[in-house]
Amino acid sequence: MSQTLKVTLHNRLSELERVGEVVESFGETHRLPPKVVHAVTLCVDEVVTNIIGYAYADQADHRITLRLSLQADELAAEVEDDGKPFNPLDAPEPDLSLPLEERPIGGLGVHFVRKLMDGVEYRREQGKNLLVMKKHVSA
Amino acid sequence: MEITEQKKGSVVLLVLTGRLDAGTAGKLEERLVSLINAGDRSFVLDFMHLDYISSAGLRVLLMAAKKLKGLNGRIVLASLKDHIREVFDIAGFSAIFPTYEQQDAAVGSFQ
């Protein structure tokens, strides 16, 4: 049974459904708690959504690589793209206490990553963005 | 994502089925905007069959709620699954959107 799953995604929003399927099937294979599967699905979705929306200046087809791996009780989700340099961890924390009228419309995706993952690391390597998110899998 | 629409008196009931993510949120946005532009002001969104929501879905709800606030309208939500409720909680959206366990109570809240 392989402990690592690698999937190549296109920069199209219809791929988000596939992200859900891939994480779910990885979760089933390794009997991960549904809460963990959902948290990882959501965070990978948010990161990939940002990449598709903002990383590319052209309209061309790009590949985004998703790697899921399990080591002991830690799941790592790595997302790699060849878009412009972007460290999502640089984004400011949204103010969640603002009333409806003043709530900004963006910034929540990165907030989810910060809240739901146990560790997040960003690296720029060989012209690519690499974001590694880690989540403890104990129920 | 599928959207089914029903009118309950003056309340528009939208039942969402499937996934509300960046790939599907535009469909809900279009529907809500066209209903608001047509004069509807009271909305219940039933999430009983909604399996997944991301920030792109929340963005559409926030946009519609802001629009409606200026028009004396509102959106309430019904039947959130636990993991969807958690997304609302983390986003601080539970304080913005009234939510009900049951669709009937959500519709009834407009009486």
Asked whether the beta carbons of B94 and B105 are under 8 A apart, the reply is no
> 3-state DSSP call for residue A94?
coil
Is the predicted pLDDT of residue A1 greater than 90, yes or no? no
Residue A41 vs residues A3, A16, A47: alpha-carbon distances, Å: 17, 9, 10
What is the domain count for chain A?
1
Largest CA distance in chain B: 35
Interface A-B, measured as beta-carbon pairs within 8 A, has a size of 68
The pLDDT value recorded for residue A106 is 75
**Which residues of B lie inside 8 Å of A (Cβ-Cβ)?**
19, 21-23, 52, 54-56, 58-59, 62-63, 65-66, 69, 83, 86-87, 90-92, 96
Domains of chain B: 2-108 (3.30.750.24)
Banded model confidence at residue A100, pLDDT cuts 50, 70, 90:
confident
Which CATH number is A51's domain given?
3.30.565.10
Question: Once rounded to an integer, what is the mean pLDDT over residues B3-23?
Answer: 98
Q: What does the mean pLDDT of chain A come to?
A: 93
A40-82 pLDDT, tens per residue? 999 999 999 999 999 999 999 999 999 999 998 999 999 999 9
Residue positions counted in chain B: 111
Residue A17 tokens, joined: 């459904």
- Distance between CA A20 and CA B77 in Å, rounded? 24
The pLDDT value recorded for residue B57 is 97
Q: Which of A32, A49, A51 is most worth mutating to test chain B (most B CB atoms within 10 A of its CB)?
A: A49
Is the predicted pLDDT of residue B48 greater than 90, yes or no? yes
Banded model confidence at residue B17, pLDDT cuts 50, 70, 90:
very high
Window 56-95 of A: residues touching B by CB (8 A cutoff) are none
Banded model confidence at residue A139, pLDDT cuts 50, 70, 90:
low
Asked whether the beta carbons of B20 and B53 are under 8 A apart, the reply is yes
CB contacts, 8 Å: A38 with chain B: 83, 86
Give the least confident one: A17-31, A96-110, B36-50, B58-72: A96-110
Question: Once rounded to an integer, what is the mean pLDDT over residues B61-78?
Answer: 96
Question: Once rounded to an integer, what is the mean pLDDT over residues A6-33?
Answer: 97
Among A11, A108, A114, residue whose Cα is nearest residue B63: A108
- Distance between CA A104 and CA A57 in Å, rounded? 24
Q: How far apart are the first and last CA of chain A?
A: 21
- Distance between CA A69 and CA A8 in Å, rounded? 15
Boundaries of domain holding A73: 4-136
Window 40-59 of A: residues touching B by CB (8 A cutoff) are 41-42, 45-46, 49, 52-53
Is the predicted pLDDT of residue B73 greater than 70, yes or no? yes
Residue A116 forms contact with B (CB below 8 Å): yes
CB contacts, 8 Å: A111 with chain B: 90-91
Among B99, B95, B65, residue whose Cα is nearest residue B82: B99
The pLDDT value recorded for residue A46 is 97
In chain A, the residue whose alpha carbon lies closest to the alpha carbon of B65 is A100
- Distance between CA A96 and CA B96 in Å, rounded? 10
Sheet holding A128-136, edge to edge: A4-10, A63-71, A74-81, A128-136, A119-125
Is the predicted pLDDT of residue A105 greater than 80, yes or no? no
The pLDDT value recorded for residue A68 is 98
In chain B, the residue whose alpha carbon lies closest to the alpha carbon of A108 is B55
Complex confidence, ipTM: 0.94
Give the least confident one: A24-33, A92-101, A112-121, B56-65: A92-101
